[in-house]
Amino acid sequence: MSSEDDTGGEASGGSFWEPGNYKRTVKRVDDGNRLCNDLISCFQERAKIEKSYAQQLTDWARKWRSAVEKGPQYGTLEKAWHAFLTAADKLSEIHLEVRNRLAGEDTEKIKAWQKEAYHKQMIGGFKETKEAEDGFRKAQKPWVKKLKDVETSKKNYHAARKEEKTAQTRENHAKADSTISQEQMRKLQDRVEKCVQEAEKSKDQYEKTLEELNRYNPRYMEDMEQVFESCQEAECKRLCFFKEMFLDLHNHLNLSTNESFHALYRDLYQGIMAANDHEDLKWWRNVHGPGMAMNWPQLEEWSLETQRPISRKEKSGKSNEDVTLTSIVPAGDGVKQTPPQTKQRFSHQEEQNSHFYDTLRASPCMNGGKEEISEWSDEDTPKKCLEVNGHEEDIKVPGVRVRALYDYAGQEADELSFKAGEELMKISEEDEQGWCKGRLQTGQVGLYPANYVEKIIL
């Protein structure tokens, strides 16, 4: 064994009991603090992965939800496709919860424990490291001193034996040399005897210091054990805490125990199993196939209304203004199931502009009562005219009782809603967009599509 200074040098290997080898145990305290930081960094990176995955799921679901809605897939199979996208949104929420726990709850728990277990000093390092270092140093210092004495005694003893050996060698050579005088031989013999005495004296001192060291060994071992056990206790707390944290992290990452995770895939499975090829084919037949309604050609009687010329506005707006109402409620038995198409109503400003220009062309109310040449026939006279103040006024007609042919649900605040077979009072003529003003039996007044009713013939 080789001794270092009083503090004991750090050895790269060897027994714990050798000078300075306790520093590996002291270093473990600093390593424990470092491991806390590493644990935080490790699972914060995992939290970033969870967040990134959740965002990718959300983006994927948004992209394909739009693609599926605009694509050619239809019916119950389209719903099954959407079930995957809904499941992705739910899975994204689950992984965001995992991310929040890892980056929030778990990280804060580790930081709190680390702050309580490792106390930083103003001069640098940790209080626990200094306490362990001082404890080992104090326990080892007396033993190291005695060990030094042993090594010094051993060195002296070995040097004495070396001198003894050298003196004996010289003496033996002198005996073989006839030129050596008796006086010189006597001196060599005295030197050998003196070296033997010095060697025996050094040996006694060596044995004495070694015996003293061995007597102190139990005390040394006890003191070192005491400090070591204190370090072991602190390390045990760290190991137990890390195991507890690993279990928490396992619980947060283990989605197999998450009820929301299981419910997600149960719902997805049910959504897939709900796909019905017969229902989808039946739907296509009724909406796009032979099941569609058809107005087959029939004999039509001549009437004055059918011969009415079409205005230029109707000609230009026919292809762009025709729409199908989407809030039609199927009527009961005995009433036509497919309502006719209605023209889309203009906005208030568009309606004013339309009637204004139509009136300028056809109404004799303007230009001081002088009637200009008009392109419209008598039957095509506009149903509205401008008053002197420039406001539109509906052409009033005597109340006419009409009956609804179809159900209609009003789309605007000024529109009426009624059921097929319900009677109402028509109080204005049909405008160019195909709308009339009427009054329900409840007294409500509003607009309705003219081709949804028929006149009640008494």
Q: Say how far apart CA 95 and CA 103 lie, in whole Å.
A: 12
DSSP of 70-92: HSS--HHHHHHHHHHHHHHHHHH
Instruction: Output the six-digit token pair for 445.
Output: 């007044």
Q: Say how far apart CA 330 and CA 313 lie, in whole Å.
A: 32
Mean pLDDT of the chain: 81
Instruction: Output the six-digit token pair for 121.
Output: 């000093």
Quote the strand ranges of 109-203, DSSP E. none
Q: In what order do the strands lie in the sheet with 423-428?
A: 445-449, 435-439, 423-428, 396-404, 453-455
Q: What is the pLDDT of residue 170?
A: 87
Q: Say how far apart CA 403 and CA 405 lie, in whole Å.
A: 6
Q: What is the pLDDT of residue 138?
A: 93
In the chain, the amino acid numbered 50 is: E
Q: Say how far apart CA 181 and CA 189 lie, in whole Å.
A: 12
User: Half-sphere exposure of 219 toward its Cβ, with a 13 Å CA cutoff?
Assistant: 13
Q: Say how far apart CA 59 and CA 65 lie, in whole Å.
A: 10
Under 8 Å between Cβ of 73 and 144:
no
Q: What is the pLDDT of residue 357?
A: 45
* Torsion sign, CA atoms 51, 56, 62, 68: negative
Cβ neighbours of residue 177 closer than 8 Å, sequence gap 6 or more: none
User: In which region does residue 249 sit, left (phi positive, over 0), alpha (psi from -120 to 50) or beta (all else)?
Assistant: alpha
Please, what is the Cα angle at 140 between 139 and 141, to 5 degrees? 100
Residue with tokens 């005897």: 193
In the chain, the amino acid numbered 430 is: E
Q: What is the pLDDT of residue 408?
A: 92
Q: What is the mean pLDDT of each run of 10 residues along the chain (458 residues)?
A: 45 80 93 95 96 96 95 93 95 95 94 94 91 93 93 94 90 83 86 91 93 93 94 95 95 92 93 94 91 87 64 44 45 49 51 48 42 40 40 60 92 91 92 91 92 88
Q: Say how far apart CA 228 and CA 220 lie, in whole Å.
A: 12
**Helix and strand numbers, DSSP H then E, in the chain:** 9, 9
User: In which region does residue 228 sit, left (phi positive, over 0), alpha (psi from -120 to 50) or beta (all else)?
Assistant: alpha
pTM of the model: 0.57
User: Half-sphere exposure of 275 toward its Cβ, with a 13 Å CA cutoff?
Assistant: 17
In the chain, the amino acid numbered 363 is: S
Instruction: Check residue 367 and report its DSSP letter.
Output: G
What is residue 192's three-state secondary structure?
A: helix
Q: What is the pLDDT of residue 323?
A: 44
In the chain, the amino acid numbered 307 is: Q
Q: Say how far apart CA 411 and CA 345 lie, in whole Å.
A: 10
Q: Say how far apart CA 215 and CA 213 lie, in whole Å.
A: 5
